[in-house]
Structure 1
Amino acid sequence: MSLSNRLADDMKQAMKNKDKFKLSVIRMVRSSLQNESIKLGSELSEEAELTVLTREVKQRKDSLHEFESAGRDDLAEKLREELLILEEYLPEQLSDEELEAIVKETITQVGASSKADMGKVMGAIMPKVKGKADGSQINRLVQQHLS
């Protein structure tokens, strides 16, 4: 089932359950998907849908960090709840061991030896793990292995 169909089904269920919070989060994501579709001028592929969903999750994580550092626990808690809902739609995340294996393998494939090769490594890794891992976590692992 595509992400759009799953969101539509879950939106109907949230309406039936009178779950206003989940309904608003799903509507925001569906709106982002529709905006991206309009921008591209065609239906979104599953990969494009995943890209939009990943972007939404990343935006919320960045905002969460800002709210926590500013001491806005009320807003931070709301974002944590939104993230829990959004993460239901992401593919299963890779474990640290799996991610580390992918990083090592890609460094070997690319022939990277120093931090100057960071861009090549990140460019090769990101399509492999799209939606399955956080970019900052990958960045940290690549830096560890290239230093």
Structure 2
Amino acid sequence: MSDSLKQRIDADMKAAMRAKDRERLGTVRLILAAIKQREVDERTTLDDTQVLAVLDKMAKQRRDSIAQYEGAGRQDLADKEQRELEIIQDYMPQPLSAAEIAALIDAAVASTGAGGMQDMGKVMGVLRPQVQGRADMGAVSAAVKARLG
């Protein structure tokens, strides 16, 4: 992959401007603002893995908002969040299957020599970069707990 994820998002913002796609433009600007905010806060330039972490966080926020809006009977707002979530997910890699996650967990447990719950942090430390943006970290954490428990 020659272009960085950030460059691709930036190019998509320009394309959305030219196409006068206001909805996509708004969401892409939100993504770029979140990336820029983290770069300013940490005084660094984010690489693709860190950009994925920002996207993952934004996607989780959208999923939480959708659940809250639907619970409150505000389908109009839930639909808007759903459209933003779909645009955010365009930049994320394909999600891992349950079998792929299980295989990664087994490999992480083997490589860290984890023997029980006290080794959960080590296992998650190995897994996080491999599954970031490709799986729900809460579900991965629960699966690791079940495997170690």
TM-score range, shorter chain: 0.7 to 0.9
Quote the sequence identity (%).
Answer: 37
Match of 1:121 among 109, 120, 123: 123
Segments of 5+ residues of structure 1 without an aligned counterpart are none
Q: Deviations over 1:60-92 (max 9, x none)?
A: 122222223333222111111111100010122
Q: Partner of 1:107 in structure 2? A: 109
| Moved >6 Å (runs of 4+) | none
Cα 1:65/1:146, change in 2 over 3 Å: farther
**1:42-121 correspondence runs (5 A):** 42-121=44-123
**Distance in 2 between residues matched to 1:60 and 1:142, nearest whole Å:** 25
Cα 1:95/1:5, change in 2 over 3 Å: same
Match of 1:12 among 14, 20, 33: 14
Q: In 1, are the aligned partners of 2:49 and 2:129 still within 8 Å (CA)? A: no
Cα 1:25/1:121, change in 2 over 3 Å: same
Query: Which deviates more, 134-143 or 15-24?
Result: 134-143
Segments of 5+ residues of structure 2 without an aligned counterpart are none
Query: Which deviates more, 53-62 or 64-73?
Result: 64-73
Q: CA deviation at 1:122?
A: 2.1
Alpha-carbon RMSD across the aligned residues, in angstroms, is 1.9
